[in-house]
């Protein structure tokens, strides 16, 4: 049975260009930090990739710090910025209530282990932080404020300009987890005004295990791991040359046709949402369809009276790959912290399914899932009624 993949927010298939770049470099010999010829050749691959990535996301090459992915980049940003500023009497780390756990747990760890004060900014019913909340929550005691570019569960985009502006006003370091945004909506690091930004390869057609932290020149950032001093002495570790090359190739492809792909996915998403709301009684959209405030491919739909796990089980058996939220929380029985922060009770939060479209998604995929979803929800509701 061929499967239909509707979980692109969790990870994306590698594009052919990234596969070609990866395989071309796998047989290369030479540590990119070595001074000999093979090492210099490997380093050239890394630096060419750095320049390409920077050009595609509006950064200077020196601002690109390669990491193992989004989680490491978020940890480095939040912890590194806090450690760099705490000696100036700043103890607060401010995040939104709907952040990825890589940010939330970093803030919680700083509070538990280092005495930081962790502050969570509230969100509205669509999952968006208000500019007023940013202004009130970020003050002169703030070391770092981290607000994601777009949410991985409901697709809502955040007011990053307001975050960057308020941080600059009070002298705080500003960071955004843009893992879900880069390659899917226009991103310009220089224009954003942010100090730090996270993104990763496997969310946009590259391999798992490589990502980047963009760090503005002069942004306060302390190392959180130590070793050979690579990457501006804030992220030590031997370069994965093949992965870095594939990362750059994937970003190049994603940005090249971003506008057309975004429009295509928004049309598919609108068709999916309209079809579900028409075919499944009581279905509710979580988040927003506003193109200025949402990702093009992420859709969160709730089916009151059912459990998302039961809906997903039926869909999985029928050949559809979907999820109930972040893949990093798969198997966790507690309700989504994103949905509860949006004001939902536990039962409502547990009824939501995420359908995330991507480069390989088609109208045929949408038609197919609309054909089986009503029965899947009916079966899940029947099971819940007897629970």
Catalytic residues: 328
Residue 122: which of 112, 130, 114, 113 has the closest Cα? 130
| Both tokens assigned to 335 | 């309700």
Phi and psi at 284, nearest 5°, equal -130, 135
d(CA 71, CA 101): 9
Q: Which of 169, 161, 97 is nearest to 131 (CA)?
A: 161
Reported as half-sphere exposure (CB side, CA atoms, 13 A), residue 118 has a value of: 20
151: closest CA among 270, 325, 348, 335? 325
The Cα 191–Cα 184 span in angstroms is: 17
What b/e string do you get for 143-154 counting C-beta neighbours within 10 Å, with b at 16 or more?
bbbbbbbbbbbb
Residue 93, Cβ neighbours under 10 Å: how many? Answer: 31
What Cα–Cα distance (Å) separates residue 300 from each residue in 72, 201, 326, 340? 27, 23, 11, 14
Beta-carbon count within 10 A of 362 CB: 12
Helix (H) or strand (E) holding 374: helix 363-386
Category of 379 on φ-ψ map: left (φ > 0), alpha (ψ -120 to 50) or beta: alpha
* CB neighbour class for 157 (10 Å; exposed up to 12, middle 13-18, buried from 19): buried
Q: Judge whether 15 and 23 are in contact, CB under 8 Å.
A: no
- Cα distances from 179 to residues 28, 130, 254, 270, 299, in angstroms, run 29, 21, 13, 23, 17
């Amino acid at each position: 049975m061929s499967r239909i993949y509707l979980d692109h927010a969790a990870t994306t298939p590698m594009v052919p260009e990234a596969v070609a770049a990866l395989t071309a470099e796998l047989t290369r010999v030479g540590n990119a930090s070595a001074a000999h010829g093979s090492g210099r050749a490997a380093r050239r691959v890394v630096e060419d990739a750095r320049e390409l990535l920077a050009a595609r996301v509006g950064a200077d090459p020196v601002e690109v710090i390669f990491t193992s992915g989004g989680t490491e980049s978020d940890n480095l940003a939040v912890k590194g910025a806090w450690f760099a500023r705490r000696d100036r009497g700043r103890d607060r780390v401010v995040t939104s209530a709907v952040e990825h756990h890589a940010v939330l747990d970093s803030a919680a760890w700083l509070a538990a282990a280092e005495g930081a004060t962790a502050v969570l900014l509230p969100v509205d019913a669509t999952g968006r932080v208000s500019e007023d909340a940013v202004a009130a929550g970020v003050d002169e005691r703030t070391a770092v404020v981290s607000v994601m570019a777009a949410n991985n569960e409901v697709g809502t985009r955040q007011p990053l300009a307001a975050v960057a502006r308020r941080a600059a006003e009070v002298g705080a370091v500003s960071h955004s987890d843009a893992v879900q945004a880069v390659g899917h909506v226009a991103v310009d690091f220089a224009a954003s005004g942010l100090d730090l930004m996270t993104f990763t390869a496997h969310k946009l057609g590259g391999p798992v295990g490589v990502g980047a932290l963009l760090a503005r020149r002069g942004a306060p950032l302390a190392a959180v791991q130590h070793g050979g001093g690579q990457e501006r002495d804030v992220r030590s570790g031997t370069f994965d040359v093949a992965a870095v090359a594939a990362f750059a190739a994937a970003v190049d492809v994603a940005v090249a046709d971003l506008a057309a792909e975004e429009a295509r996915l928004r049309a598919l998403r609108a068709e999916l949402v309209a079809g579900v709301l028409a075919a499944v009684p009581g279905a509710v959209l979580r988040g927003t369809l506003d193109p200025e405030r949402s990702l093009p491919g992420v859709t969160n739909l709730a089916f009151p009276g059912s459990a998302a796990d039961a809906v997903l089980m039926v869909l999985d058996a029928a050949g559809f790959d979907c999820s109930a939220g972040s893949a990093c929380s798969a198997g966790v029985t507690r309700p989504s912290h994103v949905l509860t922060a949006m004001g939902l009770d536990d039962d409502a939060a547990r009824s939501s399914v995420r359908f995330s479209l991507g480069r390989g998604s088609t109208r045929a995929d949408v038609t197919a899932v609309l054909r089986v979803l009503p029965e899947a929800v009916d079966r899940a509701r029947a099971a819940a009624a007897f629970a």
